[in-house]
Amino acid sequence: MLALYCADAALQPRAAELAARWGFSLGAGEPGETPRLVLTPERLELRAMHSEGPVFVDFVGGAVGHRRRFGGGRGQEIARAVGLKKGATPSVLDATAGLGRDAFVLASLGCAVTLIERSPVVAALLEDGLARAAEDAEVAPIVARMRLWCGNAAQLMAQLDPAVRPDVVYLDPMYPHRRKSALVKKEMRLFRAVVGEDPDADALLPAALACARQRVVVKRPDYAEPMTGRVPTMSITTKNHRFDVYVLKALPG
Ligand SMILES: C[S@@+](CC[C@H](N)C(=O)[O-])C[C@H]1O[C@@H](n2cnc3c(N)ncnc32)[C@H](O)[C@@H]1O
């Protein structure tokens, strides 16, 4: 079980509440070598002893903020992949939410996005990032379109009330890295150490195809086969990866 550390006496009640809710142990004394969560006055973050990280969710500044301002709007590949166009703003279920970056891009373009994340560590980081973003006047309306569920998406999609099925299911599970880990960003190394490799990812595609009303979008590294070997209706390629799009029903408009 991952430990949550908090050095600030005033934050202890919040740390205890977070630990109880997400099933973390409360760390005391000097942390060991292993990854751990740390609650600071600013945020919740994932750290390791060495130079990796920290990993935290920031929807206001950094790379995500930059992309929100200069990212290319509805013309960008992810927007085309989910079918965003004039007159069509689909609802999206992001079944592999991770740090929520893709979900945030879609929400910033107007989509209502449900995020599902099964790792309690990642879900806690996401929840913290969403709460901080809700305090920012410019970003608050965007995160108001995002809601987070913690659990296994394959199961949650199968149990979903048919009346609230999303237009689009978006999948981006972890994929084994082709390049040696020294080349992978430190932040990503730490994230992988906590989340693992998603060996059961193939189960998500049939569940997503049964759940989505209009299409399923799978983000893949450019060197990867289509998920489960199933040939997509179309693919949209970017510099480093590909969106495989499975169209179930034509989009309105
Ligand atoms: C590569 S990350 C997604 C990154 C995300 N697209 C982003 O923009 O930040 C994959 C995430 O999906 C989660 N995941 C994988 N399989 C899942 C499942 N069956 N249900 C819920 N979450 C899952 C993993 O825990 C991991 O956090």
| Chain segment 33-44, per-residue pLDDT in tens | 788 999 999 999
**Angstrom distance (rounded) from CA 41 to CA 114:** 28
The whole-model pTM stands at: 0.94
Give yes or no for residue 181 having a pLDDT over 60.
no
Distances (CA, A) of 70 to 64, 76, 173, 248: 10, 11, 26, 32
**Angstrom distance (rounded) from CA 76 to CA 108:** 12
Confidence of residue 178 (pLDDT cuts 50, 70, 90): low
Q: Which atom of ligand 1 is nearest to the CA of 203?
A: 19
Beta bridge pairs of residue 215 = 168, 247
Ligand 1, atom 27, lies closest to the CA of: 98
Q: Ligand 1 in contact with 198 (CB < 6 A)?
A: yes
pLDDT for position 185: 72
CA-angle at 249, arms to 174 and 94, nearest 5°: 25
Identify the residue with better confidence: 240 or 251. Answer: 240
CB distance 128 to 59 below 8 Å:
no
Q: Ligand 1 in contact with 152 (CB < 6 A)?
A: yes
The model's pLDDT over 195-232, given as tens digits with 9 standing for 90+, comes to 888 889 999 999 999 999 999 999 999 999 999 999 99
Q: Which atom of ligand 1 is nearest to the CA of 152?
A: 20
pLDDT for position 180: 54
Give yes or no for residue 73 having a pLDDT over 90.
no
Residue 29 Cα, ligand 1 centroid: separation in angstroms? Answer: 32
Q: Ligand 1 in contact with 122 (CB < 6 A)?
A: yes
Tell me which of 96, 126, 157, 175 to substitute to probe ligand 1's pocket, judged by most ligand atoms within 8 Å of the beta carbon.
96
Tokens representing 156 are 């949650």
Confidence of residue 50 (pLDDT cuts 50, 70, 90): low
pLDDT for position 21: 95
Confidence of residue 48 (pLDDT cuts 50, 70, 90): confident
Identify the residue with better confidence: 51 or 56. Answer: 56
**Angstrom distance (rounded) from CA 234 to CA 253:** 19
Q: Which atom of ligand 1 is nearest to the CA of 102?
A: 8
Rounded average pLDDT over 85-90: 88
Q: Which atom of ligand 1 is nearest to the CA of 98?
A: 27
The secondary structure of the chain as a DSSP string is --EEE---GGGHHHHHHHHHHHTPEEP-SS--SS-EEEE-SS-EEEE-SSS---B---SSSHHHHHHHHHS-GGGSHHHHHHT-BTTB---EEESS-TTSHHHHHHHHTT--EEEEE--HHHHHHHHHHHHHHTTSTTTHHHHTTEEEEES-HHHHHHHS-GGG--SEEEE------SS-GGGS-HHHHHHHHHH---TTGGGHHHHHHHH-SSEEEEEEETTSPPGGGPPPSEEEE-SSEEEEEEESSPPP-
Rounded average pLDDT over 126-137: 97
pLDDT for position 182: 52
Rounded average pLDDT over 109-125: 97
As a whole number, the mean pLDDT across the chain is: 91
Ligand 1, atom 26, lies closest to the CA of: 98
Give yes or no for residue 26 having a pLDDT over 70.
yes
CB distance 60 to 139 below 8 Å:
yes
The model's pLDDT over 138-168, given as tens digits with 9 standing for 90+, comes to 999 999 999 999 999 999 999 999 999 999 9
